């Protein structure tokens, strides 16, 4: 069976010939471009899909939002060395953030968030009241022509408003303090954000994608059951229902610790819980995933921590881990073998190819 036949079989509750192996290679490819090993347009080209095929890895589109933002407020963006600044000017006050690019890891991280305290909530509301979205399907349409039998066409919805703040615009400390010191204003801000995000989410659901992901980047030691039930559950349930009614598959990106929230996310009804990280990097043995997920029909997708694709992990430990994961995954057609969560810049091509060989040997039902 082709990778596409394998993944569609699993999603439809059928049994493919072997455990599907689908890896997120986007970060690894980005680092190759940065090192001059691949062309600047590599990730967007048909060669990118052929690369997956050559490596023996199923493809699912990563990081693509099928909409563009239209801002009706003053925004200034500038760079100072490796620092990227953004300033939002509003009648309610100004917001400023700074992200620092880290050359060694080919990524960036925030050192200053837009929302720093409850004093910034009014400005955040103004920003989102004046944020609009337009569909941007061109890349999705072109990518559909390339994928063929190698995989699945996926697009992203926005995060839930709460996770947008936690992950990108405020950080957990400022979110916690704002909720405690100005609870009504904090919830009003989330409400304004949701109204804006709902517009973008509908554009995503109406896109050519077969699968839609809410990229929460969720980790249970940061967001526990109280925050989940109060601020995230309703948003996820609403959009999972809309995705299902559209005849498409819903994904959530849950790439951190699992024990505290897996049963709650499984109860939402997602088609797939993706990027799941097992012990020894995560906090939950893969043998315990199904029990904690309960009676949910959600596909459990992940299993190989990103560090296992590097020389930091001994070859024997790599082989032992992948073989053990496959012994669980081949027990029932509820699993997809994937990277948790991405192959890093120092990933080894030989390891990626080896996973396919191990699936062939140990991954048949």
301-337 pLDDT per residue, tens: 999 999 999 999 999 999 999 999 999 999 999 999 9
Q: Mind listing the domains of the chain with CATH numbers?
A: 3-70+115-362 (3.20.20.210)
Which stretches within the chain are classed as H helix?
3-11, 26-34, 46-55, 121-129, 138-147, 161-164, 171-181, 183-205, 225-227, 233-245, 262-268, 289-293, 315-329, 349-362
pLDDT band at 186 (very low <50, low <70, confident <90, very high): very high
Residue-level pLDDT at 62? 86
H-helix or E-strand spanning residue 77: strand 74-80
In this predicted model, what pLDDT tens digit does every residue of 33-54 receive, in sequence order? 999 999 999 999 999 999 999 9
In the chain, the percentage of residues whose pLDDT exceeds 90 is: 98
* 73 burial type by CB count under 10 A (0-12 exposed, 13-18 middle, 19+ buried): middle
For residues 78 and 352, what is the distance between their CA atoms, to the nearest angstrom? 38
In this predicted model, what pLDDT tens digit does every residue of 73-115 receive, in sequence order? 999 999 999 999 999 999 999 999 999 999 999 999 999 999 9
For residues 121 and 119, what is the distance between their CA atoms, to the nearest angstrom? 6
**Per the omega criterion (within 30 degrees of 0), is the bond before 280 cis?**
yes
pLDDT band at 291 (very low <50, low <70, confident <90, very high): very high
What is the Cα 318 distance to its own chain's centre? 24
């Amino acid at each position: 069976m082709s990778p596409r036949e394998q993944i569609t079989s699993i999603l439809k509750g059928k049994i493919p010939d072997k455990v599907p192996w689908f890896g997120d290679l986007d970060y690894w490819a980005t680092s190759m471009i940065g090192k001059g090993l691949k062309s600047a347009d590599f990730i967007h080209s048909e060669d990118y899909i052929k690369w997956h095929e050559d490596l023996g890895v199923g493809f699912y589109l990563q990081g693509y939002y099928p909409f563009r933002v239209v801002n009706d407020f003053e925004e200034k963006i500038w760079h100072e060395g490796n620092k990227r600044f953004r300033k939002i000017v509003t009648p309610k006050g100004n917001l400023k953030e700074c992200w620092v690019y880290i050359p060694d890891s080919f990524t960036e991280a925030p050192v200053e968030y837009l929302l720093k305290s409850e004093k910034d909530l009014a400005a955040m509301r103004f920003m989102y009241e004046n944020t609009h979205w337009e569909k941007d399907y061109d890349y999705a349409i072109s990518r559909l022509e390339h994928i063929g039998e190698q995989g699945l066409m996926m697009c992203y919805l926005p995060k839930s408003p709460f996770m947008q703040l936690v992950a990108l615009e405020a950080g957990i400390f400022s979110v916690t303090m704002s909720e405690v010191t100005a609870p009504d204003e904090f919830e009003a801000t989330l409400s304004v954000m949701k109204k804006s995000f709902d517009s973008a989410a509908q554009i995503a659901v109406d896109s050519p994608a077969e699968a839609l992901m809410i990229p929460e980047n969720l980790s249970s030691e940061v967001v526990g059951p109280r925050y989940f039930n109060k601020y995230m559950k309703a948003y996820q349930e609403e959009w999972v229902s809309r995705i299902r009614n559209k005849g498409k598959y819903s994904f959530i990106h849950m790439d951190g610790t699992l024990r505290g929230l897996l049963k709650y996310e499984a109860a939402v009804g997602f088609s797939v819980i993706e990027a799941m990280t097992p012990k020894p990097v995560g906090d939950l043995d893969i043998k315990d995933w199904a029990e904690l997920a309960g009676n949910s029909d959600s596909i459990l997708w992940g299993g190989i921590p990103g560090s296992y694709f590097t020389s930091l992990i001994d070859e024997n430990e790599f082989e032992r881990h992948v073989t053990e994961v496959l012994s669980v995954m081949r027990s029932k057609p509820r699993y997809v073998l994937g990277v948790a969560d991405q192959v890093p810049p120092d990933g080894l091509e030989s390891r990626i190819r080896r996973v396919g060989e191990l699936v062939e040997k140990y991954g048949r039902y």
